[in-house]
Chains A and B, each alone.
Chain A
């Protein structure tokens, strides 16, 4: 006589050690195997887009810090690009270099968080996480030198950056870059050759390129599926057309590829930072702008960057007043999250956590 089994529905989250914030997943299991997943979010909704309509153009910047709070620099950058397009402002070259430098350091920091938490999700008891955070901490120290803040930086401003880097920033950056290659090599050796990491991630959570494109996924998740889709190359903003770098791609689109693409991107970003250090020249770091910005009425602009998690865009509409009429945020985490269901059905509970970690979402950005 066959034994009757029943599917079990489990609410994973919003309070769970590894849902990366307040994501709730309503998962139906058949034993350990996932038969259905429904991501439910909104637990961190703060209404950033509506709040932006009540603030002037510089004040909105502080809201962007709080979207993806492990990558504030790139949020600032995307918003500033949108405002500059709206105003038709040209940023001084030194300001552009400082922006690229800060954004690439932020990308390193964000990817280290992603890799560390992915290993945490794999069950490695915080050791890889602490290794990653040890290096991220040094990057945050540099941010503190730049602007006095570590997480919610608000470093970039429409027209450039808040202030030029202090003189002691450059030696500190050199020290960091000297240490970095060693750290990345160590990380690569410890993670990429670990047998358990390999069997847990290879061919697990495979995202075919067609599905990825159909869901308009972007960032490392799309690159891991095999498409070199990077706004830094295709629509170079700031000085990305003056630096050389490669866009790493994966060949299978599994969790291992997503992990590997991130580590490769860390290497490329460190290369971009050293090129910026070589190329940067003295000059003003910020364009002269009025204290309160008033873009022309009816102007519309879309500013986008390749954020660590994918394409981050701000769509601004002006009505001629000091506040945006509308501010729409295209957040990569939310759109990458929509592909989760396709990735998970048929896999086991343990794979679900790892796959979710490999997509690298940030709930501050998903819920806005």
Chain B
């Protein structure tokens, strides 16, 4: 048996129910399962399949729920009613949407590169599902507790960039190409502050495993790492192509951006990956900065309720931002990443490193251990620091990305044609 799945509560239940025997008494307590002895491998597959079933369907159902929630909430923000025809409060609307997309013609343009074009939805959904593998929903409710979990999510989520470029290139559409070029430029730029913002968390937790990060949060890291949380939030909303960073699929500019040519089920899969991506991002924000499943009153597997509540908070935040913000221009977005987020992330790393060295090694009895009181002291330093540095860099960045006033030289004629060399 693989070493990974032992921790998972679903796996253990299904595996022991089917294939419990004397050979795996350590895991199942010696009770006999439904299958005869010697068929532990079948129980193993069944249990693994159960997890996949829960995870994949959970992600897709979550995406459907998110579509409904977003449409309803956006409607409230815009003083509309939103979908309310099918099911109570229109909850079945995503199913109607999906059915419509399923029966639509699945068009592949003549000039398109068929292989790349078809692979795009698969890769996008795959990257998303891969990232869910390390997400701890509750105690012992994760697929795998990777010791490089934080690195893994950053690595896996960047696969999406390739899919976006494939979509833009293979569609043979100029709008799609615009979206893809913007996407590659923006996504790669935002990876850097995104990764750097997580370094502080990793330093304090002393581990890259998401489970250890949750367990290290005696107080939520959003208080200890306000800068890190802000940068991660902004960076991830750029990675998710949501306003004000939605230049990849800027509807008023380039129709639908990189997925202009997609229709039918391929479009549905791309949309599902995007929507579930928001959920996954909210899940990571909740895990890394709000303490994941931990919280008062509920313990053990019931901590999943805390996790869901925190996830819902971030989902609401994402929808709220989408409803209210206009879009930035590409050069402003790039300047924001390189001139605002990157310096802030570097400041955050430097300060956190000093603090972790001081509290965790210089002063501590047990090397690497940071107590709750010390975390509070760090928070007391970091919150004012965050406010000051955001204000200072915000002022500088605002000057940098503002469009300069033009200087007219008398009645100089404006050139009627422009040469391109």
Contact = CB atoms under 8 A, between A and B. Distances in A.
Interface-central residue, B77, B246, B325, B326, by most chain A CB under 10 Å? B326
A348 B417 CA distance: 17
Contacts of B417: 36
Given A123-B244, A199-B403, A131 B79 contact: yes
Contact of B420 (A30, A126, A197, A342): A30
Interface in A310-334: none
A242 interface: no
Interface in A189-213: 194-197, 199-200, 202-204, 206, 208, 210-211
A334 B254 CA distance: 24
Interface residues of A, number: 46
Nearest to A16: B255
A149 interface: no
B74 interface: yes
A119 interface: yes
A236 B402 CA distance: 41
Interface stretch (B218-226, B329-337, B379-387): B329-337
A227 to B, nearest CB: 15
B250 A123 contact: yes
A350 B418 contact: no
A17 B403 contact: no
B252 A203 contact: no
A349 B178 contact: yes
B401 to A, nearest CB: 6
A252 interface: yes
A199 B327 contact: no
B405 interface: yes
Given A18-B252, A35-B418, A211-B414, A123 B326 contact: yes
Nearest to A34: B418
Contact of B326 (A18, A32, A196): A196
B253 A18 contact: yes
B243 A123 contact: yes
A243 interface: no
Contact of A35 (B253, B326, B406, B420): B420
A252 B250 contact: no
A28 B420 CA distance: 10
A134 B77 CA distance: 13
B43 interface: no
A119 B324 CA distance: 11
A124 B255 contact: no
A127 B405 CA distance: 30
Interface-central residue, A17, A123, A346, by most chain B CB under 10 Å? A123
Given A127-B77, A199-B332, A342 B403 contact: no
Contacts of A199: 328, 332, 398, 401-403
Given A130-B80, A348-B331, A125 B243 contact: yes
B326 A122 contact: yes
Contact of A196 (B251, B328, B406, B418): B328
Contacts of A122: 252, 326-327
B244 A204 contact: no
B16 interface: no
Given A28-B420, A130-B80, A203 B405 contact: yes
Contacts of B255: 16-17
A349 B402 CA distance: 17
Interface string A74-100: 000000000000000000000000000
Contacts of A126: 74, 78
B417 to A, nearest CB: 7
Contact of A32 (B330, B401, B405, B411): B330
B100 interface: no
B95 to A, nearest CB: 24
Interface residues of B, number: 45
A30 B181 CA distance: 13
Given A127-B324, A203-B404, A353 B415 contact: no
A121 interface: yes
B297 interface: no
A341 to B, nearest CB: 8
A20 to B, nearest CB: 11
A121 to B, nearest CB: 5
B323 interface: yes
Interface in A16-46: 16-18, 28, 30-32, 35-36
B325 A196 contact: yes
B250 A350 contact: yes
Contacts of B322: 125
Interface in A336-356: 342, 345-346, 348-351, 353
B323 A125 contact: yes
Given A16-B255, A123-B244, A197 B326 contact: yes
B247 interface: yes
Interface-central residue, A35, A125, A196, A353, by most chain B CB under 10 Å? A125
Contacts of B404: 203
A120 interface: yes
A207 B332 CA distance: 22
A32 B331 CA distance: 10
A254 B327 CA distance: 18
A360 B401 CA distance: 26
A292 interface: no
Contacts of A134: 79
Nearest to A211: B414
A345 B415 CA distance: 9
A8 B177 CA distance: 11
A159 B207 CA distance: 84
B328 A195 contact: no
Contacts of A18: 252-253
Given A30-B420, A120-B252, A200 B326 contact: yes
A36 B406 CA distance: 20
Contacts of B78: 126-127, 130-131
Contact of A203 (B398, B406, B418): B406
Contacts of B401: 199
A214 to B, nearest CB: 10
B372 interface: no
21 contacts: A10-B175, A120-B252, A121-B252, A123-B325, A123-B327, A124-B324, A124-B326, A126-B78, A131-B79, A199-B328, A199-B401, A199-B402, A199-B403, A203-B405, A252-B405, A342-B414, A346-B418, A348-B331, A350-B247, A350-B250, A350-B330
Interface of A: 7-8, 10, 16-18, 28, 30-32, 35-36, 119-127, 130-131, 134, 194-197, 199-200, 202-204, 206, 208, 210-211, 252, 342, 345-346, 348-351, 353
4 A-B pairs with the lowest CB-CB distances in the bound complex, closest first: A123-B327, A130-B78, A122-B326, A18-B252
Given A8-B174, A199-B403, A345-B418, 18 more contacts: A10-B174, A18-B253, A28-B420, A36-B417, A123-B243, A123-B252, A124-B325, A127-B324, A131-B78, A196-B326, A196-B328, A199-B401, A200-B328, A252-B405, A345-B415, A348-B329, A349-B253, A350-B253
